[in-house]
Structure 1
Amino acid sequence: MLDTVGTLARLGLAAVWLISGGIKLVDPGQTYIAVQAYDVLPHALVGPVATALPLLELVLGLLLLAGLATRYVAGVALVLLAVLIAGIAQSWARGLSIDCGCFGGGGSVSAGQTEYPQEILRDTGFALLAIWLLVRPRTWASLDGWLGWGREKTTGSGNSTGPADDYSTSIAEGK
């Protein structure tokens, strides 16, 4: 059951990053505007961040989709989500009227058109998925499982004896 929850968390978070990164990648000009609207980076860094962000999101999404290095990817995703939440929160605190640009768009909007609380809650939900995978990266249909990463052997009493020698041993033991 826990592996199923983890799989849903992994695939859900993969979808978030793939959609978010894909939308940003096809409209780099709008991504630039969205990053610039936060008004926290020196002008010279806006372009590199606007270019790197969608690429990072796509890489995170692909790695999560494949289930490769899930715990590490979840850690990077959690850090990125914390930065994004902090960016939204600082915009709200400073009285900026911007669309976060998390799923395309972004930039200045009319006063009263912001959705900061909803954006922070949404990203917090995504962060909870990342935390689940950070704590318990075991999922179904993953390269980690195929490679035997993140699996532990248990003795008959259920005590862990360390990493499994191979994935088939874990399957045979009902893991």
Structure 2
Amino acid sequence: MRTWQPWLSTGARAVLAAAFLIAGAIKVTDLDASARAVNAYQLLPWELARFVGVVQPVLEIGVGLLLLAGLATRLAAALAAGAMTVFIVGIASAWARGLTIDCGCFSRGGALPVGQNPNYAWDIARDAALLALAIYLIVFPASRYSLDRRMA
């Protein structure tokens, strides 16, 4: 194994953990706003959007904590990759349908004020980069300062 690979995986873990912890922390403080953000995508019935809006921040924090600790890294990375894929598809769908919403990734989301335009290209590019990190961790989960390593 290359000596730099565990360090690269550690960096990927840290970036993904930070992204998921920050996104989850922003949303968990206002679950009603999180539900409205999910509903703004107009893909789910209100009751299901509300459920997703409540569960999503908790899952984001859970995945972030697993990645931060380096515990079940491959599983956590797979969950992160799945989430990033769903986020990318959702944002692309909103863009294709001409919706003017804040993606809600690192905010409370929802409809944007009249005259304010979303930056969907940036949102997709950012999420694609996070998806790439998650895929890297699925392939190369061994990292420094991880509970996985201590338990092996």
Higher radius of gyration, 1 or 2: 1
TM-score by length of 2: 0.94
Which residue in the other structure is 1:50 paired with? 53
Q: Measure the CA separation in 1 of the matches of 2:139 and 2:128.
A: 16
Q: 1:111: Cα distance to partner?
A: 4.8
Which residue in the other structure is 2:141 paired with? 137
Which runs of structure 1 show a deviation greater than 4 angstroms over 4 or more consecutive aligned residues?
Answer: none
Of 66, 84, 89 in structure 2, the residue corresponding to residue 86 of structure 1 is 89
Q: Measure the CA separation in 1 of the matches of 2:28 and 2:104.
A: 12
Which residue in the other structure is 1:101 paired with? 104
**Higher helix fraction (1 or 2):** 2
User: Percent identity between the aligned chains?
Assistant: 45
RMSD: 0.9
User: Any unmatched runs of 5+ in structure 2?
Assistant: none
TM-score by length of 1: 0.82
Q: Measure the CA separation in 2 of the matches of 1:141 and 1:59.
A: 18
Q: 1:29: Cα distance to partner?
A: 2.1
Q: Secondary structure at the match of 1:117?
A: helix
Q: 1:33: Cα distance to partner?
A: 1.5
Q: Measure the CA separation in 2 of the matches of 1:54 and 1:70.
A: 19
User: Any unmatched runs of 5+ in structure 1?
Assistant: 149-175
Task: Indicate whether 1:65 and 2:58 are aligned.
Answer: no
* Deviations 1:109-155, CA, capped at 9 Å, x for gaps: 1355111000000000000110110000000010000011xxxxxxx
Equivalent pair of 1:30/1:104 in contact (CA under 8 Å): no
